[in-house]
Amino acid sequence: MQYPEPIAKLIDSFMRLPGIGHKTAIRLAYFVVDMNKDDVAKFSSALKETKDKLMYCSICGNLTDEDPCVICRDKTRDQSTVLVVEQPRDIMVMEKMKDYHGLYHVLNGVLSPIEGKGPEDLNIKSLIKRLQSDEAIKEIIIATNATPEGEATAMYLSRLVKPAGIKVTRLAHGLSVGSDIEYADEMTLSRAVSGRTEM
């Protein structure tokens, strides 16, 4: 038996989202069917508004509804440091920490030859342009993920930026709080040792 066409379309739409398999898509589709019309209208409106009103900040590449974004407009932030992240959602994670008060730059991805993503596919040109035009920037903190692609991107950026005389640092990687050494892999232990700090 086939699903009615509206439900089949809804299931197909949900399956296009990352991490949503067929069973979860079915569950979500039937959940939407059971929602009242007002909630469906609000949900639909929120989806449409997200696509209509959001844009990328012309300075840092963060998602925003105003250009430049609220972080780039904030003159109380440390103008000398720029933390480079892979995706806009990474900024929200860093902001929740409340320990970093500098600026950001979003790459919108990482170098990945397998996926055909090279430097020209990332938001790197605007970073270099930004570094050349803003003399206040003294340090770039690279905060890409500790994956082979994230590491390759970090190395590429480091080689690109260092000749300009700007300090390039990388977020420390190593043992997470509450983890046991015996369960850590060699790469994690190696990073933990090389990134050790004085007590």
pLDDT at residue 180, rounded to an integer: 74
8 A C-beta contact, residue 130 and residue 157:
no
Residue 198: pLDDT over 70: no
Are 33 and 61 part of one and the same domain? no
Answer whether residue 199 is part of any domain. no
Are 103 and 164 part of one and the same domain? yes
Encoded tokens for 60? 């840092």
Q: What are residue 64's phi and psi, to 5 degrees?
A: -155, 160
pLDDT above 90 coverage of the chain, percent: 79
Angle at 34 between CA 31 and CA 37, to 5 degrees: 115
Instruction: Place 189 in a pLDDT band, splitting at 50, 70 and 90.
Output: confident
pLDDT at residue 91, rounded to an integer: 96
8 A C-beta contact, residue 59 and residue 130:
yes
Instruction: Place 7 in a pLDDT band, splitting at 50, 70 and 90.
Output: very high
Which domain covers residue 64, as residue numbers? Answer: 56-177+187-191
Are 31 and 67 part of one and the same domain? no
Segment 188-197 mean pLDDT: 74
Residue 25: pLDDT over 60: yes
Are 68 and 45 part of one and the same domain? no
In sequence order, what DSSP letters do the residues of 115-133 get, joined into one string?
GTB-GGGTTTHHHHHHHHH
Domain count of the fold of the chain: 2
Are 122 and 173 part of one and the same domain? yes
> Which residues, at least 6 apart from 67, have a Cβ–Cβ distance to it below 8 Å?
55, 57, 58
The C-alpha atoms of residue 166 and residue 140 are separated, in whole angstroms, by 7
Cis ω on the peptide bond leading into residue 119 (within 30° of 0)? Answer: no
Considering only CA atoms, which of 104, 148, 141, 146 is closest in space to residue 126?
104
Are 111 and 23 part of one and the same domain? no
What CATH number should be reported for the domain holding residue 10?
A: 1.10.8.420
Residue of higher predicted confidence among 104 and 163: 104
Answer whether residue 143 is part of any domain. yes
Are 113 and 45 part of one and the same domain? no
Mind listing the pLDDT tens digit for each residue in 27-47?
999 999 999 999 999 999 999
The C-alpha atoms of residue 98 and residue 148 are separated, in whole angstroms, by 28
Are 72 and 159 part of one and the same domain? yes
Residue 188: pLDDT over 90: no
Are 112 and 156 part of one and the same domain? yes
pLDDT at residue 34, rounded to an integer: 96
What CATH number should be reported for the domain holding residue 131?
A: 3.40.1360.10
pLDDT at residue 199, rounded to an integer: 53
Mind listing the pLDDT tens digit for each residue in 57-88?
999 999 999 999 999 999 999 999 999 999 99
CB atoms under 10 Å from CB of 141, counted, come to 19
Last residue in a domain, options 18, 35, 53: 53
